[in-house]
């Protein structure tokens, strides 16, 4: 890169937070550089997260449809078999196409792409250990830290990415494990478990807590757990993993009740450690410029993404909030807008989250449990996909749409959808909640025309009971 020149902004990390911030900065006319150490742009999400997992979910869903569901539509496929190398190649093609696309956008918006590991070495100084060898120091007015997160380790388990794997290893297995144990019932573990379960693995999820995906609305979660069990998932809840030993081609996992008690051994071909992620800032030199952490070990920022050090900002997984790609992207845009003197802001109440299993589960806003705990008066409207014409037509009827609205104001407080394409259906609800700072009412939603023979129509019918009680109240 052009040494000696001072940048307006240097962004450390080229994931969804970092690359979106870099492109936005370029678009706004800043002289910007983005430092990325993995040799490819796109971060966790594009390289070993969202994109490869969605590719494998799509491939394995196709296999499952052919093997289990095609026959009920009168389509008989004999001898369907798996070519795992080809499946992985399709995934890799999707990843490399997208990462190269970002490089193209960097060129278009004049973002300097610096390949290497960045480190803060003083006010406005970023030292980069270049991947090609040697190091160089960039001086800059502002620094944005976007270094993301990494898999949280579990005591007693050593990840070798072959027998004991993280999500990264689970995205590149060379054969279908006969028995797969997933440690952690969060969305990443369930998505990866789904991939391998559909391809033939017997999957057991070991979860320390009393429920899978604890942030999910309780009613929807129960339906989701039932559905996964029907698909073949085994769940061992309230269970603690205490150790693992690799013996030849198998792993012996020792578990015991979460509250203590007799231990047992579970044998598996592969164990996936998926018990959460933690912010990543190893070797970043935070202390050299006075960047402090919050109580949970994430980089502390104010509502303008400023850290405790002047002219140093942080965004994405490395700061507080849901560890999701779209949240990191929104942080990036808002942070750069603030640098440009504008009023960048992210509404964390309307960050949607999606579990891309089948059926999908998508939600935005509060769960019924949260609303109840806050003592708010609320109404619930529900509609089951079993009564939806499109779902009946395609024979994919599991799940429901559930709306939670304020009893007095009719304001939408939360939406929870389990069902086919839930991840697509949630977005109009996000838009509704976003309108006028989250005061779109159920009535606004229902005054909209919804097309019949769509899954989306279920949202209309889920809202009708709420509207009827509203009219009666008026
Ligand atoms: P990251 O994407 O982690 O990017 C940080 C980048 O910084 C990395 O490329 C790293 O190499 C680089 N870096 C770190 N330190 C340095 C340094 N010192 N110098 C230079 N470079 C550095 N989210 C969703 O919203 N939807 C999904 O479907 C989804 N699926 C997922 C599936 C899996 C299996 C996993 C693991 C995650 C998934 N996520 C998903 C989460 C999503 O990947 C993250 O929330 C997102 O990538 C965070 O973006 P980020 O920019 O903050 O960090």
Average pLDDT for runs of 10 along the chain of length 474:
79 98 97 97 97 97 94 93 97 96 97 98 97 96 98 94 97 98 98 98 97 97 97 97 95 96 96 97 96 97 97 98 96 97 92 96 97 96 95 95 92 94 92 68 71 76 71 60
pTM of the model: 0.94
Task: Give the SS3 label for residue 143.
Answer: strand
Strands 264-268 vs 250-257: parallel, antiparallel or unpaired: antiparallel
Ligand 1 centroid to 54 CA: how many Å? 15
Ligand 1 centroid to 292 CA: how many Å? 21
Contact (Cβ atoms closer than 8 angstroms) between residue 467 and residue 461: no
What would the two tokens of residue 462 be?
């889920």
Ligand 1 centroid to 392 CA: how many Å? 38
In order of 151, 302, 348, the CA distances from 280 in angstroms are 9, 19, 22
Question: What pLDDT score does 438 carry?
Answer: 45
Query: Which atom of ligand 1 lies closest to the CA of 353?
Result: 25
Question: What pLDDT score does 448 carry?
Answer: 72
Strands (E), 123-184: 125-130, 135-145, 149-151, 164-165, 179-183
CA angle 183, 98, 94 (to 5 degrees): 65
Strands 111-122 vs 164-165: parallel, antiparallel or unpaired: unpaired
In order of 85, 86, 246, the CA distances from 161 in angstroms are 17, 20, 12
Q: Whose CA is nearest to atom 45 of ligand 1?
A: 324
Ligand 1 centroid to 441 CA: how many Å? 35
Q: Ligand 1 pocket check: which of 49, 51, 278 to mutate, most ligand atoms within 8 Å of Cβ? A: 49
Ligand 1 centroid to 168 CA: how many Å? 12
Pocket (CB within 6 angstroms of ligand 1): 12-18, 35-38, 43-45, 49-50, 53, 117-118, 146-149, 167, 188, 280, 284, 316-317, 323-326, 328, 356
Angle between helical axes of 457-473 and 422-434 (0-180°, round to 10): 40
Task: Give the SS3 label for residue 164.
Answer: strand
Question: What pLDDT score does 454 carry?
Answer: 79
Does ipTM top 0.95? yes
Query: Which atom of ligand 1 lies closest to the CA of 128?
Result: 19
Question: What pLDDT score does 282 carry?
Answer: 96
């Amino acid at each position: 890169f052009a040494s000696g020149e001072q940048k307006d902004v240097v962004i450390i990390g080229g994931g969804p937070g970092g690359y979106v911030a870099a492109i936005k900065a370029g678009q706004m006319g800043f002289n910007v550089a983005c430092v990325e150490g993995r040799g490819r742009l796109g971060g966790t999400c594009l390289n070993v997260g969202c994109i490869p997992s969605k590719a494998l979910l799509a491939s394995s869903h196709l296999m499952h449809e052919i093997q289990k569901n095609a026959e009920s539509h009168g389509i008989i496929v004999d001898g369907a078999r798996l070519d795992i190398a080809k499946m992985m190649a399709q995934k890799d093609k999707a990843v490399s196409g997208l990462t190269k696309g970002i490089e193209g956008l960097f060129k278009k918006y004049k973002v300097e792409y610096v390949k290497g590991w960045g480190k803060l070495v003083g006010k406005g100084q970023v030292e980069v250990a270049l991947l090609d060898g040697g190091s160089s120091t960039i001086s800059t007015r502002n620094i944005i830290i976007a270094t993301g997160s990494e898999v949280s380790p579990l005591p007693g388990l050593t990840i070798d990415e072959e027998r004991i794997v993280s999500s990264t290893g689970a995205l590149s297995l060379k054969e279908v494990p006969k028995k797969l144990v997933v440690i952690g019932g969060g969305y990443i573990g369930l998505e990866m478990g789904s991939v391998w379960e559909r391809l033939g693995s017997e999957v057991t999820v070991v979860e320390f807590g009393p429920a899978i995906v604890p942030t999910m609305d309780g009613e929807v979660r129960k339906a989701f757990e039932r559905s996964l069990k029907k698909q073949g998932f085994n769940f061992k809840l309230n269970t603690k993993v205490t150790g693992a030993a690799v013996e030849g081609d198998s792993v012996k996992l020792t578990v015991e009740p979460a509250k203590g008690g007799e231990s047992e051994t579970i044998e598996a071909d592969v164990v996936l450690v998926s018990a959460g992620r933690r912010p990543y800032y190893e070797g970043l030199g935070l202390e050299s410029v006075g960047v402090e952490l919050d109580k949970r070990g994430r980089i502390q920022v104010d509502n303008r993404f400023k850290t405790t050090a002047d002219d140093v900002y942080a965004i994405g997984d490395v700061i507080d909030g849901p560890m999701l790609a779209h949240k990191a992207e929104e942080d990036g845009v808002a942070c750069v807008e603030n640098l440009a003197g504008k009023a960048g802001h992210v509404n964390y109440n309307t960050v949607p989250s999606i579990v891309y299993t089948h059926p999908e589960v998508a939600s935005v806003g509060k769960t019924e449990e949260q609303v109840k705990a806050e003592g708010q008066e609320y109404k619930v409207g529900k509609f089951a996909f079993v009564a939806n014409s499109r779902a009946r037509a395609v024979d994919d009827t599991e799940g429901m749409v559930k709306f939670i609205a304020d009893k007095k104001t009719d304001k939408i407080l939360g939406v929870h959808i389990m069902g086919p394409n839930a991840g697509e259906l949630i977005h109009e609800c996000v838009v509704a909640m976003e309108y006028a700072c989250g005061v779109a009412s159920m009535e606004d939603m229902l005054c909209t025309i919804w097309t019949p023979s769509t899954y989306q129509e279920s949202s209309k019918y889920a809202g009708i009971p709420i509207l009827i009680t509203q009219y009666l109240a008026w």
